[in-house]
Structure 1
Amino acid sequence: MCEEVNSEIAKDILNSVDNFLFDCDGVLWNASESIPGSLETIKGLKSLGKKIFYVTNNSTKTRSEYAQKCVNLGFPAIEEEIVCTSYISALYLHNMNFKGKIYVVGNSSIGAELDRFGLNHTGIGPDPPEANQEFFQIVSSLNLDPEINCVLVGYDKFISYPKIMKAASYARREGTLFLATNEDSHQHLNVPYVIPGTGAIVAAVKIPARKEPLLMGKPKINMFKCLQQAYNLDPSRCIMVGDTCLTDISMATNCGMKSLLVLTGVSSLSDVEEYKTSEDPVKHTYVPTYYTSKLGQLGKLLGFSIPK
């Protein structure tokens, strides 16, 4: 396990893989700048007839919006190739023939994907307490909708105490479905401060609710299962390419896919060594099949024209 990609391994990947699943930030680009060699590798794989999917835990964009971001950065992408947690959450509810009303701690993109499937929801947008409202007044003014039978938590820049109370109260109800897009702890931006990720919002709800949500995104298998069902994918003919062992690589392992770690993002080889020698079997799922310095190195080994 965890072999560095060389020309022989690159050839084997090309012969044994039909479907390439790419994490985006840290693999294809950093923030809004393409990582050199990534674009040429994607285009090269497409020219050989390989299926490409852009797989992200991001819940702040619809599939259409994310496809446009890819195009703006030069990557060839259409909506059907985008697998984001706003869409997967809506698709999951649609596939289970969900009937009811959803309380969403989230954003307008989650709402738009739910709307596309005709799913009834509420909660998106600001819900702040009044400026001088005391704690007991916030609690006493809380009105719960008896029709809510599902809670969906994603990224919400308007997160507030009333929203946390409502979501936790609904989630705590017997028979209520509790979903979360992902539990990423923070956003990986090159800034001198910590930007909490969706995981911080999910924790604020699940801890008082005393209930664990069903996760839609990586590292759980729901994201791949929905993709597999839509395109009849054989996991043994798929590879997940990512920069984060705890999400990208773990999902690949859990789904029976090969995995390739690129060292242009979150995880390092020292992390991998720690996971390999750990006595915790869960950490063994974090160990990739292969690794390479950057995606463009794979492209170079495959004979694509990669700029220096």
Structure 2
Amino acid sequence: MFRLALTRLVSTTRISVQSSKVLINYSRCFLRNHSSELNDIKQQPTKIPLASIHQGEASKRMGIQFRCKVCDHTLQKTFTRQSYEHGVVIIRCDSCSNLHLIADNLGWFKDITQNGKFKNIAQMLQAKGETIHRITAVPTDDQSTLEEKTATDKMSTAVCTRLNEIHIEFVLNDHDTFLFDCDGVLWCAPVVLPGAIELLNLLTQLGKRVLFVTNNSLKTQRGFSQWLNEIGYPAKPEQVISTAWITAKYLKSINYKGHCYCIGMESMVEELAREGFHISDGIGPDPVSPETDWIETNTIKFDDQINCVISAFDIHVNYLKIIKAATYLSRPNVLFIATNDDVTTPQNDVAILPGEGTILASIVAASGRSPTILGKPRAPMFDSIRLAFPDVKPNRTIMIGDR
């Protein structure tokens, strides 16, 4: 039901390819810490008992995704579970043809191409004292493997797989904090996705910490928590990490003084006011007369106390607002902050809804300035979580999102 972005990746001192993401279909062995097993590998003789594998297990497949250290190309490959757990996998880079060797049971992750020549795997294994068994892998029609990203999924940061019982056991046992994206994950407002509320309540009953991390600035913390209560989950305001809330916290953290020009909605006013900040202009409609085909700039009123421009989602955005934002940003000392740069908003298939990133792009183009972006996946979003919940352990935390 959900797309799963794993926050704990393989860590190893011996990996020569830069492993960025590893996902599986039927095995949890990929998350073993190979570095911690190094001593065990050295102390115990190892074998490759492929011949003893039950043929039913051989058909199960898994996938791996990593980046080639030679050409920086992202590789996505699938192979049988038995070959990964008990044998040797050789992956050829699609871009530069460099070969990578993966022997999970031996703790090997290394390049095996030297000066364009291929190393003999059998000789390598025998030199290490390994016993070699040759076996033909059983074919499979399993289609639940890694897939290349499509044009409609270019913003995705991970290739995904449906969770099975093994995944669920791992997720529940190895994580204490669950960070949920909201739009497109828990709901496509106003429709709540099936099973979402049941999952949230179950995690809470199991003693897990549930936090809601959203780039949506249309509601305040209180507004989001009220909505969650209405749909069946007893959320508290402090469980919501929204970009409206983060914007106020960020300005407070840098000891900002002055007024703000904000292209955004009323939620921005409320969250900033709670921290003592004043938005003097930009919220709500700023209409241009329908009888006017041009804007006389000498009629525009500018506030000399504005030292910060904030770009957030705004259904009332228009040409006049962009003029004001770009003009304020022509002053070098004026801060430029954006809640996020998502170009579209998750909704339904009826229409494409431009997001804050679309608004932001026009301001950036007109002003020539680059903003500080606060929302996910940028660092300020997750820094704010650490500040609000200092006991959260990153290695015991999982993020669930859709892009």
Could you tell me which residue of structure 2 aligns to residue 154 of structure 1? 312
Letter of the 1:24 counterpart? C
Higher helix share: 1
Matched AA of 2:360: V
Q: Where does the alignment leave 5 or more consecutive residues of structure 1 unmatched?
A: 245-308
CA separation in 2, counterparts of 1:47 and 1:117?
33
For 1:133-157, what per-residue CA distance to the aligned partner results, in whole angstroms no more than 9, with x for missing partners? 342x432322322211100011112
Question: Match for 1:211: what amino acid?
Answer: R
Aligned equivalents of 1:26, 1:101: Cα separation in 2:
34
Partner of 1:142: 300
Alignment of 1:243-258 (within 5 A): 243-244=402-403
Which residue is equivalent to 1:237?
396
Alignment correspondent of 1:198 = 356
User: Cα offset for 1:99?
Assistant: 1.0
C-alpha distance in structure 1 between counterparts of 2:194 and 2:347, whole Å: 18
2:61 is the counterpart of 1:40: no
The CA RMSD over aligned residues, in Å, is 1.5
Q: Which amino acid aligns with 1:225?
A: D
How far did 1:242 drift? 0.8
- Cα deviations across residues 157-199 of structure 1 (Å, max 9, x unaligned)? 2112111011111123112110011111122222433221111
- Out of 95, 108, 116, the residue aligned to residue 266 of structure 2 is 108
Counterpart code for 1:189: Q
Higher relative contact order, chain-length normalized (CA < 8 Å, sep 6+): 1
Q: What CA distance in whole angstroms lies between the structure 2 residues aligned with 1:189 and 1:10?
A: 28
Q: Distance in 1 between matches of 2:221 and 2:215?
A: 12
Q: TM-score normalized by structure 1? A: 0.75
Distance 1:8 1:64, change over 3 A: same
CA distance in 2, matches of 1:17, 1:98: 37
Moved segments of 4+, more than 3 Å? none
Identity %: 38
8 Å contact from structure 1 (residues 33, 73) kept in 2: no
- Whether the 8 Å CA contact 1:21–1:239 is kept in 2: the answer is yes
Q: Secondary structure at the match of 2:353?
A: coil
**Partners of 1:150 and 1:174 in 2: CA distance:** 11
CA displacement, residues 67-123 of structure 1 (integer Å, 9 cap, x when unaligned): 111111112211010111111111111122211111111111110000111102222
SS at match of 2:296: helix
- The number of aligned residues is 243
Match of 2:186 among 15, 28, 44: 28
**Which one of the candidate residues 208, 216, 224 is aligned to 2:366?**
208
Q: 1:176 to 1:94 in 2, by over 3 A?
A: same
- AA aligned to 1:2 is L
Asked if 1:131 is matched to 2:152, the reply is no
Within 5 Å, which residues of 2 pair with 1:34-183?
34-123=192-281, 124-135=283-294, 137-183=295-341
Q: Is the 8 A contact 1:185 1:200 kept in 2?
A: yes
* TM superposition score normalised by structure 2: 0.58
Structure 2: tracts of 5 or more residues without a match: 1-21, 26-162
Q: Take 1:40 and 1:191, find their aligned partners in 2: how far apart are those partners?
A: 25
- Mapped to 2, the partners of 1:193 and 1:13 lie a distance apart of 35
